[in-house]
């Protein structure tokens, strides 16, 4: 049974190996998120999602709307990876790398820096309002708001170049959309991580509700060894590492649960209770592991637990994850590094040239999706004698550039009766001859 959760939780600071991992991941994730917009690559921002130009840059790779399939594959792989890891070791994502957990941890660091430890914060909240209390609270929330604004700026910097965004902010010329998204993301960061905190995990996050469906008896979860720890109390067998009912495992829990009551959906798998309990066991000169990562089968003393490679759920998720990842990588590595969009001029369906041939006009939008300049030649196929009218070829495009050119296609009347006829535009790269792109279109006869 879950113990009643206090209205406001003041988690106690803990230290230990799992806390060190959490701290390292907080620093790593924020260095990546806050630092990537300032990293340069080939004289441009290394990671930039340019919505105005419909171009996405991730270091040496550039993507266009036609490459949406790779984004879809990435999302599927991410979801399957989360399911796979949850089946293996529970909610490690929630406890160590989820943005809500990371930002809540950062906000708690700010509070500890300004307001003191968990006892000092509880005492301050219980004290009547005074100038000192309001000053401390104002400083803490001011710092949290500043950090939230920084995260909002960093988010928008992935869509508007960071240097331009910083210049606009300094000059006071930010556009309405940039201002909106900076404030919107900052407000939600402050609200979710600075105010709601564990309530997001326990009441708003759907993952907590269905995570149990991905567990089996061999999934590693944070568990209390009741056979070793009970009966708990001050007179427990300290040499064997029994529970002395100190309650520190509850005090350090960011969601305020008591892990000794068994696995609960509020548990985010952060392992703060493991670090706290291990410290107590060290002081008692007792073996660690009263609270530990283990499986339900191991906790019950079963010796027939299956290795990961024999567990059906792990095999299922592993197969899907490996298959989709390999297909996506192979497809990406073999993709043609340029694209073309063909649009026939509908304002003038067909006209007759001076020498009696029929002619249709087309707009060809060439996209160089590679990081180096390319030259292209264009030809047309599909009808006997079909030809291109005089045009400027080859077409040279700079790296990641686009250009729209006009082409006129001509066919003898005897081969183009009234109606639409299928034709193909063939685009070849002179710099990479193995890459040939064919785009279908139609020719209107008379």
State the CB neighbour count (10 A cutoff) for residue 253: 24
Whole-model pTM: value is 0.84
> Which pLDDT tens digit goes with each residue over 35-89?
999 999 888 899 999 988 888 999 888 888 888 888 899 999 999 998 898 888 8
pLDDT value, residue 236: 60
The alpha carbon torsion through 278, 279, 281, 286 (nearest 10 deg) reads 90
pLDDT value, residue 5: 47
* Backbone dihedral region for residue 241 (phi beyond 0: left; psi -120 to 50: alpha; all else: beta): left
pLDDT value, residue 251: 96
Q: How far apart are the first and last CA of the chain?
A: 81
DSSP for 22-70 reads: HHHHHHHHHHHHHHGGG-EETTEESEEEETTTTEEEETTEEE-GGGHHH
CA pair distance 236, 244, nearest whole angstrom: 6
pLDDT value, residue 426: 94
> Which pLDDT tens digit goes with each residue over 221-253?
999 999 888 888 776 666 677 899 999 999 999
Rg of the chain on CA atoms, in Å? 31
Domains, the chain, ranges and CATH?
1-38+90-304 (no CATH), 338-445 (2.60.40.10)
pLDDT value, residue 32: 96
Indicate the helix (H) or strand (E) that contains 107.
Answer: helix 99-115
Residues of the chain with pLDDT under 70: 1-6, 235-239, 302-305, 391-392
As given in the structure block, the two tokens for residue 92 are 């490690």
pLDDT value, residue 383: 93
pLDDT value, residue 303: 60
Cis peptide before 231 (omega within 30 of 0): yes
């Amino acid at each position: 049974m879950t113990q009643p959760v206090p209205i406001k939780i003041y988690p106690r600071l803990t230290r230990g190996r799992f806390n060190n991992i959490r701290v390292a991941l907080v620093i790593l994730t924020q260095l990546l998120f806050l630092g990537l917009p300032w990293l340069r690559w080939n004289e441009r921002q290394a990671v930039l999602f340019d919505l105005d130009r419909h171009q996405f840059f991730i270091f040496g790779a550039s993507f266009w709307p036609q490459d949406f399939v790779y984004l879809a594959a990435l999302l599927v792989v991410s979801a399957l990876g989360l399911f796979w890891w949850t089946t293996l070791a529970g909610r490690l994502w929630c406890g160590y790398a989820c943005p809500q957990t990371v930002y809540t941890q950062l906000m708690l660091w700010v509070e500890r820096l300004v307001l003191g430890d968990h006892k000092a914060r509880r005492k301050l909240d219980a004290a009547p309002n005074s100038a000192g209390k309001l000053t401390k609270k104002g400083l803490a929330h001011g710092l949290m708001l500043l950090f939230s604004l920084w995260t909002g700026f960093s988010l928008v910097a992935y869509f508007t170049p960071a240097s331009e965004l910083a210049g606009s902010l300094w000059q006071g010329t930010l556009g309405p959309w940039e201002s909106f998204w900076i404030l919107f993301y900052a407000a939600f960061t402050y609200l979710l991580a600075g105010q709601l905190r564990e309530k997001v995990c326990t009441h708003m996050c759907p993952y907590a509700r269905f995570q149990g469906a991905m567990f089996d008896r061999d999934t590693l979860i944070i568990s209390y060894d009741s056979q070793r720890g009970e009966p708990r109390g001050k007179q427990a067998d300290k040499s064997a590492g029994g529970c002395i009912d100190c309650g520190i495992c509850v005090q350090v829990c960011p969601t305020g649960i008591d892990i000794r009551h068994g696995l609960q959906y509020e548990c985010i798998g952060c392992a703060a209770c493991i670090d706290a309990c291990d410290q107590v066991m060290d002081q008692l000169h007792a073996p660690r592991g009263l609270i530990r990562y283990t499986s339900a089968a191991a906790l019950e003393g079963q010796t027939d637990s299956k290795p990961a490679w024999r567990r059906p759920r792990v095999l299922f998720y592993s197969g899907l994850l490996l298959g989709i990842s390999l297909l996506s990588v192979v497809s990406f590595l073999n993709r043609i590094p340029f694209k073309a969009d063909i649009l026939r001029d509908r304002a003038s369906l067909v006209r007759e040239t001076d020498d009696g041939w029929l002619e249709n006009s087309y707009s060809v939008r060439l996209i160089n999706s590679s990081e180096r300049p390319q030259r292209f030649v264009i030809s047309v196929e599909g009808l006997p004698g079909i030809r291109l009218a005089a045009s400027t070829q080859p077409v040279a495009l700079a790296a990641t550039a686009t250009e729209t050119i006009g082409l006129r296609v001509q066919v003898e009347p005897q081969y183009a009766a009234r109606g639409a006829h299928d034709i193909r535009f063939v685009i070849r790269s002179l710099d990479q001859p193995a890459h040939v792109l064919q785009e279908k279109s139609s020719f209107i006869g008379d």
